Structure 1
Amino acid sequence: MDTPGELGEFLRTRRARLRPEDVGLVSYGGRRRVPGLRREELALLAGVSAAYYARLEQGQSGNASETVLDAIARALRLSDDENAHLRNLARPGRAGRRPPERPECARPGTRQLIGAMDGVPAIVLDRRNDVLAWNPLGHALVAGHLDLTAPDRPAERPNLQRLLFLDPHTRELYPRWAEEAKRAVSSLRLVAGRYSDDRRLAELIGELLMKSEEFAALWQRHPIRNCVSGTKAFHHPLVGPMELAFETLHMPDDSGQRTLMYSAEPGSPSETGLRLLRTLVESRPAAAPAGAPTTAVRAGR
């Protein structure tokens, strides 16, 4: 990915959301050529020269000190997630090891763990949101129209970002689709900054930019948020509406793998819906062996 270009775009979007009066500067009226703060105004707030800040925003200064980055983050009023993203973009060489080219796999222990989760939908994802594994209830919740065994074949693995923006079945699953889309892009932006040398991640982003105008519009706004917990609304084709809490557990390494789990509030209609879905899953025939023909929509690469 073009990290210097991404850095400039990120800084410009954050300048654009601040007005001089928001940060204690005097605005003398008149029409401003750019929305939000000018470069000189941001440089003044951060205590750096306007020329230096301009070079940084243009990607011509790759050795910004921690002191300078701290000052810019404060001036732009960045959140913790945005602050981390700023550093990843400003120092792409420190973003992490170059990821291996071989297909990733979920750890055997992780597979065993999600398989033992009784009544809890669970999905193991890599940093690109490729599904590495899921338990039957996790599959039935988010992608029951796809082959249950698809994650076992790297070339056919579903990708949750691709499904969200390009698959009509998945769009119908989320009644608050716009909210889900913004959350997805916010997380993907953060990951893209951290793993700027991940070729397959860049290819996924490029594909979505070309095929989805909605993704492209959200991506251009440069939202940043590490969405590790919260609630999601579903309108499941088999059991109807549900409001489920989600939690994300990250692996204790630099792989970017994580396990996404869902639960319903005890005694709620959503818990009833989740129990019904579990009953339906348990009553269906066993999954076909890997490689068996399927009519499911292909959502992998």
Structure 2
Amino acid sequence: MPGNEALREFLRARRARLTPAQVGIPDGTGPRRVEGLRREEVAQIVAVSVDYYTRFEQGRVAPSNDILLRVGQALRLSEDEHAHLVTLVHGQIISDEGRYELRRELRWVLDAMRTPAFVLGRCLAILGTNEAARRLLVDFDARPPHERNHARWVFLDPLARERYADWDVVARDNVASLRRQAGRFPDDRRLGALVEELTAASPEFARWWSQHDVVQHKRGHKRYCHPVVGDLTVAYEAFPVSGTDDQTLYVYSTEPGSASEAALERLLR
């Protein structure tokens, strides 16, 4: 079972965020040596022996889908977290270095779109943007290839803190996205190097990385503070790129008739 250390750290972090009271277990009067739930308490909820759960958390047994479901329920895992757990148990989806190039046909699609749109690849590499996205965010295409990375931009470029009204939310989401990718692609050397770089350069990244949060954003909203048109809120939709396992097309839109729509129109003139 690959990724045993990652599995152990993930489950330990999920246990640490829960208290016995949250899962209906009476808390003893004595001091607790571990933060959150003990292994034996999780085993009690899952209805397995402490020895079995310990070996499971260490990656030394292959649990059934029913056990995985019960562990996920016991630890109050989200849908994304449960998917991450399954990946850590059953192994990565792909072990190569991923695709870091954009198909020319998808480039044509981006260029034909008037609303902001871009494609993210593995490591949150920015594989392509259109003119509207470059105006709203930053001109990634004009930057050296090494700097065309959303996570690196968010954590290392002061401009990102100014551009995102909710920088801390966006930054934590980037960490959670990278953590999810680390579970899917544990052998990707570029991903490992990026995590090492950001951990060394950003105390915030290092702190959030250690929390083992995972997320896969499919839709949502983002607030921007743009120096030309002021504040605006966009909705985004994420579309997996066909024929790949690690590329996603993000398309932005604004509410019809809203101040954000007017601001985006001014920006794109």
Aligned partner of 2:82 in structure 1 is 83
**Cα distance between partner residues in 2 of 1:163 and 1:140:** 15
Task: Kindly state the Cα deviation for residue 128 of structure 1 after the two structures are TM-superposed.
Answer: 1.4
Task: Kindly state the Cα deviation for residue 62 of structure 1 after the two structures are TM-superposed.
Answer: 5.0
| C-alpha distance after superposition, 1:35-77 (max 9, x if no partner) | 2211111011112221222223234x15233232222112112
Q: 2:118 aligns with which of 107, 119, 123?
A: 123
**Cα distance between partner residues in 1 of 2:146 and 2:65:** 43
1:113 aligns with 2:109: yes
CA contact (8 A) 1:164 1:170 kept: yes
Aligned partner of 1:31 in structure 2 is 31
**Cα distance between partner residues in 1 of 2:97 and 2:191:** 12
Structure 2 counterparts to residues 187-226 of structure 1, below 5 A: 187-226=177-216
CA contact (8 A) 2:56 2:62 kept: no
**Cα distance between partner residues in 2 of 1:254 and 1:122:** 18
**Cα distance between partner residues in 2 of 1:157 and 1:28:** 52
Task: Kindly state the Cα deviation for residue 100 of structure 1 after the two structures are TM-superposed.
Answer: 4.2
CA contact (8 A) 1:18 1:37 kept: yes
Q: Report the identity percentage.
A: 40
**TM-score for the superposition, normalised by structure 2:** 0.93
**Cα distance between partner residues in 2 of 1:157 and 1:113:** 23
| C-alpha distance after superposition, 1:115-160 (max 9, x if no partner) | 1112x0011111211111111111121114x5x344xx7x445100
Q: Secondary structure at the match of 1:143?
A: coil
CA contact (8 A) 2:94 2:184 kept: no
Q: Secondary structure at the match of 2:186?
A: coil
Aligned partner of 1:245 in structure 2 is 235
Change (3 A) 1:4 1:254: farther
Change (3 A) 1:91 1:113: same
Task: Kindly state the Cα deviation for residue 213 of structure 1 after the two structures are TM-superposed.
Answer: 0.5
**TM-score for the superposition, normalised by structure 1:** 0.83
**Cα distance between partner residues in 2 of 1:79 and 1:140:** 35
Task: Kindly state the Cα deviation for residue 218 of structure 1 after the two structures are TM-superposed.
Answer: 0.8
CA contact (8 A) 2:97 2:189 kept: no
**Cα distance between partner residues in 1 of 2:211 and 2:230:** 33
**Cα distance between partner residues in 2 of 1:63 and 1:253:** 30
Change (3 A) 1:50 1:253: farther
Gaps of 5+ in 2: none
Aligned partner of 1:47 in structure 2 is 47
Runs of 4+ that moved beyond 6 A: none
Number of residue pairs matched by the alignment: 268
**Cα distance between partner residues in 2 of 1:173 and 1:117:** 22
**Cα distance between partner residues in 1 of 2:18 and 2:97:** 40
Structure 2 counterparts to residues 138-217 of structure 1, below 5 A: 138-144=133-139, 146=140, 148-150=141-143, 155-156=145-146, 158-217=148-207
Gaps of 5+ in 1: 280-301
Task: Kindly state the Cα deviation for residue 30 of structure 1 after the two structures are TM-superposed.
Answer: 2.4
